[in-house]
Chains A and B, each alone.
Chain A
């Protein structure tokens, strides 16, 4: 007992920096946002009136939030499966001892070096309808690249954002899955080979189960990133194009310069809290699904 208490001063000193920082920059803003969420304020956010807790429901069912939620879910649907399949496909393809395979691995990992801003602007430049490379090379086959441009057409803008995201995340997925593939014991493949399993069956029966935890992890990361998509939207479309505002995700609704609630602190807070609830639902998957048992739980 005495020993336990002897460590207390040290524990306080060592935990203090983290505790203070996390309290001020993570816990406080969350609590404060929950409080602010039912306020309606003037332009400066100083004079506020209380609209009650029902405000959360009003915001949640509002046409704008529902639309943003729909966009976020659509973005998930566009980016996560495609990103996963491409990443795994490339990793499996490059998981062979071939001459020069290192070069290919480096190429497939390369997009991990692009930040959100860099990746988005790369695509922004490429997709310019009048002067972009894609419009110049491919508009014969895909007229939408020129008129009005992939990013300017309400029907394709989200797809263009998804391209950018998938491409930017490809390096990450590739690296993680490659690492997982390399940790699969080779003798498992050999015994499967001896059993007469073909390539496909070896993949489904050996590889897939062995890398399942990794795939789950990648899925969670990609899903989270999709839900938190802000920079891509700010740089590629500004939440547009009109009339549908087809790329206004929830984070863009909250933080976007062109957002209809920019300058409305109470509503921004309410939307942020709702985003938190959604993230929580996703985190549930993370904490349950990434449980260590998954390794053995086949």
Chain B
């Protein structure tokens, strides 16, 4: 009796051992016939051969039309569904805006479904055509995957059909959601990473509390002064979440350095086939951060994608605080609210300083983060027109002004700046203007549009893993090369499947 479980356990162990010895590749490899990374997007995956289309090969006239005037003839109320990724106070504000829209007219009624960005994207991709919403909010790293679902009406078509004026919109924002001349989605909530710092600590360290570091080099020297003066245990708190320090910020730093992150001009002119982040720019950048950790000037709080705020809390830590951190501008509103409630004795809302994200040699600018609104092709003209009507409401100047104040997102258009409540808020609290100013300072360069590549989310995960390894003290070049190889495999596999 007693031998039987043992026997099974042995078999179990043997199975594992066999596998461990045989040394497999990556789970996402397309099989033996996988093309060399970066050479080709044709993959023979055993049997059929499929040819992946490049982004440029989608002819503009094959895209679905956008009948924006169909609502005029419709009778009754058209119900549309909006899937979004706004949680907490952001979600509450979006609900308020939507309620206001529903109350303002009776032709369109919008209902909201909320998830995280990841949930919303997964749910969208897994939903059958009938179950898709009419409008979906997806972050910038989903552009290629969304294009490949061939389920969206490009907003460019709607802009054309309705003659909607986009001259007030930030060009970088529009640019972020267009590939090869097609405007796919409408930027709605725009964020970019900014530097949060504790003015009280700056003062204690003998630094000017109103002058945050302008460059990476200055960030280091200030950290040095903070640590040496004993004003705080650490200068900077770093993290390696895929959607922040481990992925997104690296993309930002590449843009600041005016370097492409993936080939095909960041995937904007031709379909991307490989990542470029293991070049000198990437190595220098991560070596710099690693050095700050090694020298005790910075602290790594790990992967904060579980909460999104571990690095911010490190500034409020009562025993071993950090003086600075980089975080999305979208967290400004909630952060000030929490600190304003007085939960943390060593920092309150007024102590929080906000500065532009420091770049190499002080290079300015930032990539668009946040998310855009996608029109889903339902095949129903009235729904499409109703969706467009709601979309234009959300990106209107007045709504953008209110939205920006409630959330900390950046208005997507210049004429929103002069409207209340944004105008008054920025005048009273210039911290809300930092992220916007950072976008205005963005150089007019092809690198300012950020990478577009199918599995960008997974690529970020891979890089986040690499960044964590670098933070743990491993060799930068080796780690980045391995990550690049894995990412290139993901791209080849994705391109072969889509």
Q: Which residues of A contact B (CB under 8 A)?
A: 40-45, 47, 49-52, 54-55, 58-66, 69-70, 73, 128-131, 139, 146-149, 151-154, 216, 236-238, 240-243, 245, 257-258, 260-264, 267, 271, 278, 281-282, 284-285, 288-289, 293-294, 297
Contacts and interface: CB of A to CB of B under 8 A. Distances in A.
B313 A130 contact: yes
A289 B6 CA distance: 10
B31 A242 contact: no
A47 B150 CA distance: 12
Contacts of A264: 28, 497
Contacts of B305: 238, 240, 258
Contact of A50 (B24, B48, B303): B48
B24 A62 contact: yes
Contacts of A263: 121-122, 125-126, 145
Contacts of B118: 257-258, 262
B317 to A, nearest CB: 5
Nearest to A283: B8
Given A238-B306, A242-B240, A267-B27, A130 B19 contact: no
A59 B22 CA distance: 12
Given A146-B317, A281-B15, 8 more contacts: A58-B27, A61-B23, A154-B468, A238-B306, A263-B121, A264-B28, A264-B497, A289-B1
B320 A146 contact: yes
Nearest to A265: B126
B30 interface: yes
In the A-B complex, the 4 residue pairs with the closest CB atoms: A61-B24, A152-B302, A242-B468, A62-B27
B28 A267 contact: yes
B378 interface: no
A113 to B, nearest CB: 25
A154 B25 CA distance: 23
B29 interface: yes
A54 B46 contact: yes
Contacts of A262: 118, 122
Contacts of A267: 27-28
A260 B310 contact: no
Interface stretch (B54-62, B103-111, B457-465): B457-465
Contacts of A243: 465-466, 468-469, 472, 474
Contacts of A154: 468, 472
Most buried by A among B30, B119, B299, B468: B468
Most buried by B among A240, A267, A293: A240
Contacts of A216: 5
B1 A63 contact: no
B496 A40 contact: yes
Contact of A61 (B1, B22, B467): B22
Q: Is the interface of A mostly helix, strand, loop or mixed?
A: loop
Contacts of B5: 216, 285, 288-289
A264 B122 CA distance: 10
A43 B467 contact: no
A130 B300 CA distance: 13
Contacts of B462: 260
Most buried by A among B12, B24, B302, B493: B302
A69 B19 contact: yes
Interface string B459-492: 0011011111100101000000000000000100
Contacts of A146: 317, 319-320
Given A58-B31, A146-B319, A241 B468 contact: yes
Contacts of A237: 306
A242 to B, nearest CB: 3
Interface string B9-23: 101100110011011
Contacts of A149: 301-302, 310
Contact of B27 (A50, A70, A260): A260
Q: Is the interface of B mostly helix, strand, loop or mixed?
A: helix
A58 B8 CA distance: 24
Contact of A73 (B16, B29, B121, B125): B16
Given A60-B24, A66-B19, A147 B299 contact: yes
9 contacts: A40-B496, A45-B126, A49-B46, A148-B300, A152-B301, A152-B303, A216-B5, A237-B306, A289-B4
A294 B118 CA distance: 49
Nearest to B470: A243
A29 to B, nearest CB: 15
B226 interface: no
B170 to A, nearest CB: 29
A52 to B, nearest CB: 5
B148 interface: yes
Given A52-B46, A130-B310, A62 B461 contact: no
Contact of B8 (A60, A64, A260, A281): A281
Interface in B284-322: 299-303, 305-306, 310, 313-314, 316-317, 319-320
B27 A64 contact: yes
Most buried by B among A40, A59, A129, A245: A40
Contacts of A41: 497
A147 B47 CA distance: 51
A143 to B, nearest CB: 10
A50 B33 CA distance: 13
Nearest to B132: A44
Given A40-B497, A61-B19, A69-B19, A50 B47 contact: yes
B240 A148 contact: no
Given A50-B47, A149-B302, A238-B306, A257 B119 contact: yes
B30 A153 contact: no
Contacts of A261: 27-28
Contact of A49 (B45, B299, B303, B464): B45
Nearest to A263: B125
Contacts of A66: 16, 19-20, 24
Contacts of B474: 243
B156 interface: no
B148 A42 contact: yes
A242 B246 contact: yes
Nearest to B147: A43
B166 interface: no
Given A130-B317, A257-B122, A258-B242, A62 B26 contact: yes
B50 interface: yes
Contacts of B299: 147
B302 A153 contact: yes
B1 A297 contact: yes
A58 B24 contact: yes
A40 B12 CA distance: 28
A131 B472 CA distance: 23
Nearest to A237: B306
B12 A241 contact: no
A238 B302 CA distance: 12
Interface in B117-145: 118-119, 121-122, 125-126, 145
A242 B464 contact: yes
A241 B497 contact: no
B46 A64 contact: no
Contacts of B151: 44
